[in-house]
Amino acid sequence: MNVAHHEEPNYMGVFWWLLVLTIAEIALIYAPMAKMVIVLLLIGTALTKATLVALFYMHLKFEKRTLGLIALVPLLLCVFLVFALTPDLGAVVHQSPKAAAPAEGTHGEH
C-alpha cells in the first residue's frame, strides 16, 4: 500500500538515464538531420524523461491504478486540445504574411 512496502527503485540509475537523455537532446539540435526528424526525436526524448520521473520518482509505477488514471486524464485532454486547435492553425497560417506573400507579392497586415 505504501511506497515503503515495495522494493526501492534504483534512483541513481534513473538519474543517469535522465542525464544521458538530456545530453542527447542537446546533441540532437546540432545533428545533421531534417528539422522534422530532430523535432520528433526531441519530443520523444522529452516524453521519455517525463515518464521516467513520473514512474520512478513520483512512484506512479507502484501506485494504484486510480492515480495512473488521474495522471493520464490531463495528458489526453492536452492531446485533444492540440487537435482542437488544428483547424484554427490552418486558418491563421493561411492569413499569415509568409503564406500570403507568394500569392499576393506583398506583406500582409497583422
Contact residues for other proteins, defined by CB under 8 A: 1-4, 8, 11-12, 15, 18-19, 22, 25-26, 28-29, 39, 42-43, 45-46, 49-50, 53-54, 57-58, 63-67, 70-71, 73-75, 77-78, 81-82, 85, 88-89, 92-93, 96-99
**Rounded distance between C-alpha atoms, residue 26 and residue 49, angstroms:** 14
Provide, rounded to whole angstroms, the least separation between the CB of residue 83 and other proteins.
10
**54, 60 Cβ separation under 8 angstroms:** yes
Provide, rounded to whole angstroms, the least separation between the CB of residue 19 and other proteins.
7
Give whole-number Cα distances, 28 to 36, 39, 110, in Å. Answer: 12, 9, 34
Cβ proximity to other proteins: between 33 and 97 the closer is 97
Provide, rounded to whole angstroms, the least separation between the CB of residue 62 and other proteins.
10
For 20-52, give one letter per residue: b (16+ CB within 10 A) or e: eeeeeeeeeeeeeeeeeebeebeeeeeeebeeb
Provide, rounded to whole angstroms, the least separation between the CB of residue 29 and other proteins.
5
